[in-house]
Amino acid sequence: MNYVFSFVIFFSSIILGQNMESLKNSIKERFNADSAYFALCFEEIGNSRNSLFINSEEIFHAASTIKTPIMLGVFDQAKQGKFKLTDSVIVKNDFKSIVDSSHYSLDIAEDGGENMYKYIDKKRTIYDIVYDMITVSSNLGTNLLIDLVGADNIMNFLKENSISGITVLRGVEDQKAFDSNLNNTVTAKGLYSLFLKLGKLNLVSTKASQEMIAILSDQKFNDLIPAYLPKDVKVAHKTGSITGIRHDSGIVYLPDGRSYVLVILAKNVISPEKTAETMAQVSKLIFDHMQK
């Protein structure tokens, strides 16, 4: 009986290895047809053998993917009792550059979360600010939360949870910092590590992990990882997009109860539309692989 079981496992491993090689070749073919530079991490949660990594440690400008670790920092400090998520803060549009502490403000025209601006000089709950930061990628909300929890505390949280490859330095639209190349950065492996732990409900607490996944599941920008997936597939994810950059990262939940982490990063993007199509096609390839 043990011999038969061992043979089945061995044979299954061979089949999985062949499938992974075929998947990798198909993905590289899509990537090579695009002028952008890509990185990818994929892993089925609970089955680490079903995984694929391409350029996983290449450093990318984080764009709005940095908002996921910021959310983790907020939930962590709430757990520590520094504040409650139901507490309110005054919404302001006045921030200090990390270069010289000079003041700057955000441009509503450059912000996907423009709804936040109607609350300037008014109170809003921390939870609502987090929700807007993730679901509509509010830059104003992001900077408010960075000021609230501090970039250093977020980095300490990541280190304590053995998540490397993510650097949180500042809020968004700090032009002096950008000009000085002081940017938030990520690797595909760093975001993969974050989402793998989150998918296993191992970040902050089980309850907090579930709450953060629920927020990520309400993401409004769905033209990348979820684009070609069936409607009954839930995706808890965070995108990122600036000039030359298109990212998506998160957890895909299948109707049969399985789930997987997928991170696709792209830089040197010339045609955002073409690169978005490439990323959506690659996501569908991985979904189809999971059906085999």
Q: Which is it for the CA torsion 46, 48, 50, 52, positive or negative?
A: positive
Q: Is residue 22 assigned to a domain?
A: no
Question: What's the whole-model pTM score?
Answer: 0.93
The total number of residues written for the chain in this structure:
292
Domain count, the chain: 1
219 domain residue, yes or no: yes
Helices 67-79 and 206-216: crossing angle, nearest 10°? 150
5 located within any domain:
no
| pLDDT digit string, tens, across residues 94-144 | 999 999 999 999 988 888 878 899 999 999 999 999 999 999 999 999 999
Is the residue at 10 inside a domain?
Answer: no
Inside any domain, residue 100: yes
What is the span of the domain harbouring residue 196? 31-290
Q: What's residue 19's pLDDT?
A: 81
CATH code, domain carrying 65: 3.40.710.10
How do residues 100-114 score in pLDDT, each as one tens digit? 999 999 988 888 878
* pLDDT tens, residue order, the chain (292 aa): 454 444 444 445 555 566 889 999 999 999 999 999 999 999 999 999 999 999 999 999 999 999 999 999 999 999 999 999 999 999 999 999 999 999 999 988 888 878 899 999 999 999 999 999 999 999 999 999 999 999 999 999 999 999 999 999 999 999 999 999 999 999 999 999 999 999 999 999 999 999 999 999 999 999 999 999 999 999 999 999 999 999 999 999 999 999 999 999 999 999 999 999 999 999 999 999 999 8
The overall average pLDDT reported for the chain is 94
Identify residue 25 by its one-letter amino acid code. Answer: N
**Residues 243 and 159 sit within 8 Å (Cβ to Cβ):** no
